[in-house]
Amino acid sequence: MDSTSSLKASIEIPTIKELQKKNIPAHVAIIMDGNGRWAKKRKLPRIAGHRAGVKALISVVETCVELGIKFLTVYSFSIENWQRPQEEVKGLMRLFRRAISEQLDALSKNGVKLKLIGSEESIPSEVFKSFKDAEHRTKDNKKLTLNIAFNYGSRQEIVNAVKRICDNVKKNKLKVEELDENILSSFLYTGKIPDPDLLIRTSGELRISNFLLWQIAYTELYFTKTLWPDFRREQFLGAIHNYQRRNRRFGNL
């Protein structure tokens, strides 16, 4: 898929009101990729790219609220990311806490509900507490649920779901013959949240990177060369417009 900038060269991006007249995705997922390359191009430390990435996320969240999108799931930190240089990891932990502290009031005012999805193991206690406090403060908000995939890996998510199902079978809370796709889905981190309608990946990479493997079985995929810190309102609207021009068949003719 070509970048949004290339898309705009041939197709005018509609306004919010124009987009709202067509099918708005209920759930959008984003692999926010390219922070490091963005910083490198500007001869800045990698953490500067991550800071710029927070601004991009805020822009996209605000646009989701305007459009009426109900769920936004972003891949912020994978299980594999712990293998990065410790200086970068520590900087990211500080950035997560600061971003939550600085943005929480604005997010709550806009009706955004925060939810942490991922393994709670290995998350530093102060970072985990910040997430949980944010979840509690925003639990009654209704406009948009922002799922932050942190310490997340989809294969681990599926394995954990299977373990929990097995435990329920052992305790006679669930019968094997009752198991179906809906029940397995309910044991995932995303729980009863609908599967994504659209998955966006920035930076030009063409892979899923162990993100929502079960949930994206019939999700529309959108790849753009735009680096994540440069992906703002206009680029997001371009992705939504592209989604609306597709014919989703879900295996049918």
Choose the catalytic residue: 2, 23, 33, 133.
33
E-strand stretches of 34-192: 71-78, 112-117, 144-152
The length of the chain in residues reads 253
H helix count then E strand count, the chain = 9, 6
Q: CA 222 to CA 220: how far, in whole Å?
A: 7
The answer to whether residues 73 and 118 touch, using CB atoms and an 8 Å cutoff, is no
167 tagged catalytic: no
User: Whole-angstrom Cα distance, residue 204 to residue 193?
Assistant: 28
Spatial contact of 164 and 185, defined as CB atoms under 8 Å apart: no
- Cβ atoms of 78 and 210 within 8 Å: the answer is yes
Residue 81 appears among annotated catalytic residues: yes
Helix (H) or strand (E) holding 198: strand 198-201
Catalytic option among 2, 23, 35, 81: 81
Catalytic positions: 33, 81
